[in-house]
């Protein structure tokens, strides 16, 4: 049993050395030479390409080069599927390596705000994976390892990765295919190039659309809140009115946490990161402002009580 920690250390050191070597020589990666080499495998070329793509993902080699090469080699449809398989297998491999090597160690040492942040990511599960695949806030290769350090379920991670990387994979695969068509020449090359530009424009718009949808506050009615408070997983009610209003004629909801809007940001440590939050004020104006603030700080399970305490009293 004592050999296992040393085995993990040796495996981690070997992986770091391989990544360092790959990153050092990544500028020498020639897409044209890669395509020629893969094409030489004939009927088994797709299998070889998937394996190479997966290995490239683990070693922090640029996935864009692989995706463009996949489009040039296999066309827009099969190329997208083959690219997705390679990227997903690589993401899964990095995820499992990180989980095996460091998940337990990281979980024992997390604390404070970072622990709450990780708990929020784990609570979101596949939804967080879907979001970061559609909106690439972090580098793809690094994100694969980082998510492996959480307790997100493997199956949810794999499915969300495959499904929500598909739009970008198709667009960039088509760009690779369009590049091959342009080299070949002909009238179809212009049309193919225009389609590729349209797809890139659509992919560039996706992050803005997702952020807008995700940033929009969720709403809950007073009767719905009452039903949830009586359920098995009740939300934490956060009343963002002033202390005077909290004790005023409208009263307050039993068990509510009073965090006035102007104090909310400085008192975020009082909020649980792994439970849903229901925000309430006199109507719902301050609650909407509070929801935007919390979502900007990484809180994802946030709902605004429509019409606030006015509706609750009715």
Question: Rounded distance, CA 116 to CA 76, Å?
Answer: 42
Question: Rounded distance, CA 241 to CA 279, Å?
Answer: 10
Question: Rounded distance, CA 191 to CA 203, Å?
Answer: 19
Contact of 175 with 196, CB cutoff 8 Å = yes
Cα separation of the two ends of the chain:
64
Question: Is pLDDT of 65 > 70?
Answer: yes
Question: Rounded distance, CA 12 to CA 9, Å?
Answer: 5
Domain topology for 218-313:
Oxidized Rhodanese; domain 1 (3.40.250)
Which distant-in-sequence residues (6+ apart) come within 8 Å of 105 by Cβ?
Answer: none
* Domain limits, the chain: 3-212, 218-313
Question: Is pLDDT of 227 > 80?
Answer: yes
CB-based burial, 145-176: b 16+ in 10 Å, e otherwise:
bbbbbbebeeeebbebbbbbbbbbbbbbbbbb
Q: pLDDT averaged over the chain?
A: 83
Question: Rounded distance, CA 198 to CA 171, Å?
Answer: 9
Average pLDDT over residues 292-307: 84
pLDDT tier at 1 (50, 70, 90 boundaries)? very low
pLDDT, one tens digit per residue, over 204-223 is 655 665 555 555 567 888 88
Contact of 24 with 61, CB cutoff 8 Å = no
Residue 76: how many other CB atoms lie within 10 Å: 20
Question: Rounded distance, CA 148 to CA 163, Å?
Answer: 18
């Amino acid at each position: 049993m004592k050999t296992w920690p040393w085995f993990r250390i040796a495996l981690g050191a070997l992986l770091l050395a391989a990544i360092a070597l790959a990153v050092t020589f990544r500028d020498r990666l020639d897409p044209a030479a890669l395509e020629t080499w893969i094409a030489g495998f004939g009927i088994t070329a797709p299998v070889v390409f998937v394996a190479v793509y997966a290995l490239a993902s683990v070693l922090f080699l640029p996935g864009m080069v692989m995706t463009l090469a996949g489009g040039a080699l296999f066309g827009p449809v099969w190329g997208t599927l083959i690219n997705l398989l390679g990227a997903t297998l690589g993401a899964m491999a990095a995820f499992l390596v990180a989980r095996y090597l460091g998940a337990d160690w990281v979980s024992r040492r997390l604390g404070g705000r970072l622990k709450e942040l990780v708990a929020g990511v784990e609570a979101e599960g596949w939804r967080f994976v879907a979001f970061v695949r559609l909106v690439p806030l972090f580098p793809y290769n690094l994100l694969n390892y980082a998510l492996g350090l959480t307790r997100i379920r493997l199956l949810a991670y794999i499915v969300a990765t495959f499904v929500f990387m598909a739009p970008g994979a198709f667009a960039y695969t088509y760009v690779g295919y369009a590049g091959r068509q342009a080299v070949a020449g002909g009238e179809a090359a212009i049309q193919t190039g225009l389609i590729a530009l349209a797809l890139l424009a659509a992919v560039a718009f996706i992050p803005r659309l997702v952020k807008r949808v995700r940033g929009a506050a969720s709403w809950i009615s007073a009767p719905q809140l009452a039903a949830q408070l009586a359920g098995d997983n009740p939300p934490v009610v956060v009343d963002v009115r002033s202390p005077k209003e909290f004790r005023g004629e409208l009263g307050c909801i039993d068990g509510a946490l009073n965090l006035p809007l102007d104090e909310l940001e400085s008192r975020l440590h009082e909020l649980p990161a792994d439970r849903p939050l229901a925000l309430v004020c006199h109507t719902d104006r301050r609650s909407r402002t509070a929801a935007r603030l919390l979502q900007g700080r990484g809180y994802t399970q946030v709902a605004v009580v429509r019409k606030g305490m006015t509706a609750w009293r009715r």
